Structure formats: structure tokens, C-alpha cells
Amino acid sequence: MSDKPDPVALAPASLAPASLAPASIAAQALGWIDPVTKAIVPPIHMASTFLRDEDNQFRSGRVYARADNPTFDQVEATLATLEGGTRAFVFASGMSAATACFLALEPGDHVVAPKVMYWSLRNWLLTFATKWGLKVTLVDMRDLAALAAATQPGKTKLIWIETPANPMWHVTDIAGAATIAHAAGARLVVDSTVAASVFTRPLALGADIVMHAATKYLNGHSDLIAGALVTGKADEYWERLRLIRAQLGATLGSFEAWLLLRGMRTLYPRVEWAARSAARLAERLAGHPSVIEVLYPGLANSPDHLVAARQMTGGFGGMLSVRTRGGEAAAIATAAKVALWKRATSLGGVESLIEHRASIEGQGSPCPVDLLRLSVGIEAPDDLFDDLDRALRRAHGNA
Ligand SMILES: Cc1ncc(COP(=O)(O)O)c(C=O)c1O
């Protein structure tokens, strides 16, 4: 264990998180007040290096900003509190946070990951990580019996789940996966990007680490790339993650860390609005003549609904997908005809995005070719429906 002061312990809070709703904690970022100036917003520390004491020590706990940065303190403390964890690390991207979890293992270790998951990470696991020496098994994470069968006691060191999972929004039973992981001596890491620290508390359900592409809902404004990990306990594995961030330089910039905290202050109103809007769109699109299927765990007839209703609280998130009548060409034509929705990859911003997902995932993707992924923002839900309805009708020659 490092004897450096822990940033979460360093980050001051004027609020008593235990007595407050998470929305209040997020809005005030733990209520930090600058002790000297009384500013209610933390400063941006741009220093890349920190002064050594005359007796050759670093009593400030800071040495060099590739390892850590005072601008991280408040954002890490706030995120750890929102997730019910004890420590958090911000990273340069969601991918650097995610890959750190695997690089902290040993070549030869076995990991289990979902067949349906964020595409770039799945690619990395099947190429780089496999070459590096990890043994990777992909399973349908909605099937806990399949997960249990794929898990090798003593050999499996990490089970990775993403819930709800890109781009079909499969929901994995976190508590069930945690039981299987722990019985085999493995850790459970949850990519909770889509649940956004609001709708699911993976640590309370037994997960060991929560990962976020903070690029998405945590920031919420499509203007930075960032990642984060949160843990329940700062053990030796957590220390390896700290080292990997510093040694690989997977370090977030100061301005990005500051912007991320600013985005997190509005996390609750943004994602609650988006989730309400997504639920309404899912219901309306389910009855649309040009749509053959709506994939959204909030729909009562979704195969994911039962587990989602048990482990998600306050909503089912702002992500849904639709499968269009007429196959790939109709899906691409629909995306071409929207005006309010923006044709772009990514998710979790205040502006709604539409994407023909199979085009970006490419060969080998389990994503159906007629699928459009929708990231619902905070525009008026009726405007979003009307724009999509118009695009669907025009793409199908009904306008
Ligand atoms: C669920 C999920 N996990 C991880 C990532 C990777 O995050 P980043 O793009 O910040 O590296 C993404 C990005 O789209 C994502 O959607």
C-alpha cells in the first residue's frame, strides 16, 4: 500500500453525505468551500510538479501530476460518495480506466466478459489483451448458468459486466454475477456507464469495482473524454490500478477534471429527465408501423425488464435502440433524415444522438444491421418523437 495521503481523504466536504440524497451531494460536489477565498467552486491546478521539502520528503503527498493532481480530489471524492465507494480514480478516458482493470492482472489469468458489450473494449480484449496473455471467454451475461459454467475457480481472476450493455441494453444481474465471481476467487467489475451512478449501485449489489466512461453521462456535455473507477476497498489490486494510471500516463488533464466535476453537478436532473424521455419514446416507438422492435429494459415486455426492475431504481436510463422495418438500408435512411437528433457516435450528452451502430462496430459485431442506437438528451420529448417519426416515415416512403 502507498503511504501517500489518499486524495479522497484529502478532499474536503462541508456536507454530511450520509444524511443527504445523492442529487444534493452531486449538485454541491460535496459542498467544498475554499478555506482562504471562500469560493464555492474548486480551482484548476495546472502544476505538473510539486515542491520537495528541504529534508527531501514530499509531505504534501504530491510529487508529479502524472501520478495525481489536486484537481482530481473533489471529483474523485464526489464520485466515490455517489457510488457508495471509498475511493475513486479518474482516468484519461473510459478505455484507459477499463483496460487498466485487465492490465492489473497477470498474463495467463482468465477473464470472462459479455458477448454484448462496448465494442472497442471487446475488440481490445480479443486482440491486445489476448496477445498479452489473458485468456478471454465471452458469454451471454443474461444467463447466469452460462456465466457460472465459464468461470474457472482459481483461474478466473476477473468477471467484467456492462449493464445495461451496448447496444442492445442487455441487463446483467449484478448480485448473481458477484456471487459467482466471489465463489471462484474472482473480482467483479461493472461498466456502469449507462446506469450513470444514478439508476444502479453496483458496489451495494456486491461488485468490487465500478467503471465509468465519464465522457458520457457523468460529464454530460459531449465536450471531454474521461474515465473513472470506484472501489469499495483500497486493496492491493486498487494500488496496482493507481500505478498503472501513473506509469502508463492514463492521466486526466486538469481542465478536463474540472469540467467533469462541473458536469456532475447537474447529473441527476439531466439523467432523470433523459430516462423519463427515453421511457416515453420507447412506449411510443413500440407502436410505430416502421419499427419492428424497441430495445429498452424499461419496457414491461423486454426480456431484461425483470432483472432491471429489481436492480435499477428511479428509471432505466436514457439509452434505447430501435430495429427498423426494411433492414439496414431503411435504418441508414432514417438516420439520414433526422434534423433534431444528431447523427454521431457517443452517448450521455444533453443533445440527442442517433447512430447506425453496426456501421461503426464492423465485422463480427453481434449488433443487428437494422438497429439504430438512440442516446436521449434533454430536449422536449415530443420534439424528439416528432423528428424521428418524420424521419421513419420519409425513409419508408410514407411522408
Ligand atoms: C459503455 C462504454 N464503456 C466504455 C466506453 C469507452 O469510453 P471512452 O470513449 O471515454 O474511452 C464507452 C464509449 O463509448 C462506452 O459507451
The residues, any chain, with a CB within 8 Å of residue 133's CB and separated by 6 or more, are: 106, 107, 108, 109
Residue numbers annotated as active site = 66, 118, 191, 216
- Ligand 1 pocket, Cβ-based, cut-off 6 angstroms: 93-95, 98, 118, 121, 162, 166, 191, 193, 213, 215, 225, 227, 346-347
Q: Is the pLDDT of residue 2 over 60?
A: no
pLDDT, tens only, 294-323:
999 999 999 999 999 999 999 999 999 999
How many angstroms is it from 218 CA to the middle of ligand 1?
A: 12
Nearest CA to ligand 1 atom 14: 346
pLDDT, tens only, 151-182:
999 999 999 999 999 999 999 999 999 999 99
> Model-level pTM?
0.97
Which atom of ligand 1 is found nearest the CA of 98? Answer: 4
pLDDT, tens only, 254-302:
999 999 999 999 999 999 999 999 999 999 999 999 999 999 999 999 9
How many angstroms is it from 89 CA to the middle of ligand 1?
A: 16
Question: Hey, which of 90, 91, 95, 161 would you mutate to test ligand 1's pocket, going by the most ligand atoms within 8 Å of its Cβ?
Answer: 95
pLDDT of residue 1: 41
How many angstroms is it from 362 CA to the middle of ligand 1?
A: 17
pLDDT of residue 18: 85
The whole-number average pLDDT for the span 132-144 is 98
Which atom of ligand 1 is found nearest the CA of 95? Answer: 11
